[in-house]
Amino acid sequence: MNRFVYTVLIFLSLPFALLRILLRDAKNSNWIRKLKNQLGFVPKIPGKVIWLHCVSVGEFNAAKPLIDMIFINFPLHQIVISTTTITGSEAVEKYYKSQVIHCFFPFDVPFIVSSFLKKIKPVACILLETEIWPNLITKLKHKNIPVMLVNARLSKKSYKKYKKFSPKLINMTLNNLSLICSQNESSSKRLISLGATNNNIITTGSLKFDSNEPNNSETIQALKNITGDRKIVVFASTRKGEEFQIIKSYLKLKSKFNALLIIVPRHPERFNEVFSMANETGLNVKRRSLGGHCEQDTDILIGDSMGEMMSYLNISDIAFIGGSLTNNGGQNMLEAASLSKPIIFGPSVFNFEEISKRLLDDGSAIQVRNAEELMKTISELLLDDEKRRLIGESAKTTFENNRGATTKIFNAIAPHIKNI
């Protein structure tokens, strides 16, 4: 696939993308702004703009230490942060308030990208993780605007797709990047194999190890008031299909559980769906959003609230990381590790292969093959306080021993901004 074919396909997909915004986001007051921004309609932004793009909340949280460092060292520049999701935009605006300008990321269609760039006029663009957009990167290159991919990662699955379907396009795109800061050696090797040159790629480690989300004592106390003094197992960022497996396996072992299960779906639009499914099993199910106290016979609390994941993890005795029983590649395990929690995840962790391997090698996590094994492992851990403590402490040590990516990345990107 060349860039022309790619552009035609992206253009043809626009009606479906617009329909998705209407179906998913129309209930949110920001949906019209999102639609306009993604079509290239953004206000003109004065000054020297450093533009950072984070897909959603997870990427933004990981990037915060880097953004803070950019603020300190480039105080005369205007920081613009784009996200793809509305939840991401809310996280940006809540954390930085008026210190930054937020906008939604444009569709990767040439005329839309041109309109977007004409308004914000960045002097540098920093993309996070897997955000490789051929038309945007090509436009920035043609305008001599440094464009850097940081905290970059490339799974085996994504590597094979690029290699099979668009080897020329990805080769050209990677060569148009000014700099790539990769999370690990495996990703660096794959990116080089796809066409990145050795002299513009460095391995810095993951920003996620440097993320240090503050504890919200008010929220933590509110959750404790709801959950009471029982042991708690949090199922964090679960994906479609996982909740059914979890609940089905729980029903088989329910008599062995003296704990409250908190299920926190990754996507807010699925809160009602997950609650209804759990409720239909005959289990005693409550919702965080409705408040109230969980009784001793409450089986499940649905964590249907936004921005409280760290608080859910904080009160947990065991943390299961979602997206790993289904073929979604897992979610960030390091939030739980930073809180010294024993971590469990399923077989699908291709988005976090290096991090998961490190945790497993250090005895900081347990990997299970399926939901039945997950529930059996949880039931055993609930009876072994010492084992939970040791795994949790090991997870915290792994987290602390791998910090430092923020400084390495900043030192790499700073010359590209200073030379403007």
Domain ranges of the chain: 24-210+403-418, 217-401
The answer on pLDDT for 420 being more than 70 is: no
Can you read off the two tokens belonging to residue 197? 């040159």
Sorting pLDDT into bands at 50, 70 and 90, what band is 245? very high
CATH architecture label of 217-401 = 3-Layer(aba) Sandwich (3.40)
3-state helix, strand, coil in the chain (%, to 5): 55, 15, 30
**Residues 6+ away with beta carbon under 8 Å from 340:** 392, 393, 395, 396
Mean pLDDT over each residue of the chain, to the nearest integer: 94
Phi, psi dihedrals of residue 276, rounded to the nearest 5°: -60, -45
- Given a contact cutoff of 8 angstroms between Cβ atoms, the answer to whether 362 and 383 are in contact is no
* Residue 79, number of CB atoms within 10 A of its CB: 17
The answer on pLDDT for 214 being more than 80 is: no
- Given a contact cutoff of 8 angstroms between Cβ atoms, the answer to whether 358 and 185 are in contact is no
Which helix (H) or strand (E) is 302 found in, with range? strand 300-302
Which helix (H) or strand (E) is 99 found in, with range? none
**Residues 6+ away with beta carbon under 8 Å from 191:** 152, 154, 174, 180, 182, 201
* Residue 345, number of CB atoms within 10 A of its CB: 27
3-class DSSP state of 94: helix
Can you read off the two tokens belonging to residue 385? 């306080």
Can you read off the two tokens belonging to residue 273? 């769906």
Span 360-372, pLDDT tens digits: 999 999 999 999 9
Alpha carbon distance, N-terminus to C-terminus of the chain: 34
Which helix (H) or strand (E) is 360 found in, with range? helix 353-361
Span 48-97, pLDDT tens digits: 999 999 999 989 999 999 999 999 999 999 999 999 999 999 999 999 99
Separation of alpha carbons 357 and 156, rounded Å: 14
- Given a contact cutoff of 8 angstroms between Cβ atoms, the answer to whether 122 and 147 are in contact is no
In a 10 Å sphere around its CB, with 0-12 CB exposed, 13-18 middle and 19+ buried, how is residue 93 labelled?
Answer: middle
**Residues 6+ away with beta carbon under 8 Å from 339:** 310, 313, 314, 396
CATH architecture label of 24-210+403-418 = 3-Layer(aba) Sandwich (3.40)
The answer on pLDDT for 180 being more than 90 is: yes
* Residue 393, number of CB atoms within 10 A of its CB: 14
Sorting pLDDT into bands at 50, 70 and 90, what band is 419? low
Annotated catalytic residue, options 59, 131, 335, 353: 59
Span 111-137, pLDDT tens digits: 999 999 999 999 999 999 999 999 999
HSE of 15, CA atoms in CB hemisphere, 13 A: 2
At 237 the pLDDT is 96
Sorting pLDDT into bands at 50, 70 and 90, what band is 256? confident
Does the annotation mark 273 as catalytic? no
The answer on pLDDT for 418 being more than 80 is: no
User: Residues, the chain, total?
Assistant: 420
HSE of 328, CA atoms in CB hemisphere, 13 A: 18
Angle, helices 110-120 vs 134-142, to 10°: value is 50
Which helix (H) or strand (E) is 260 found in, with range? strand 259-265
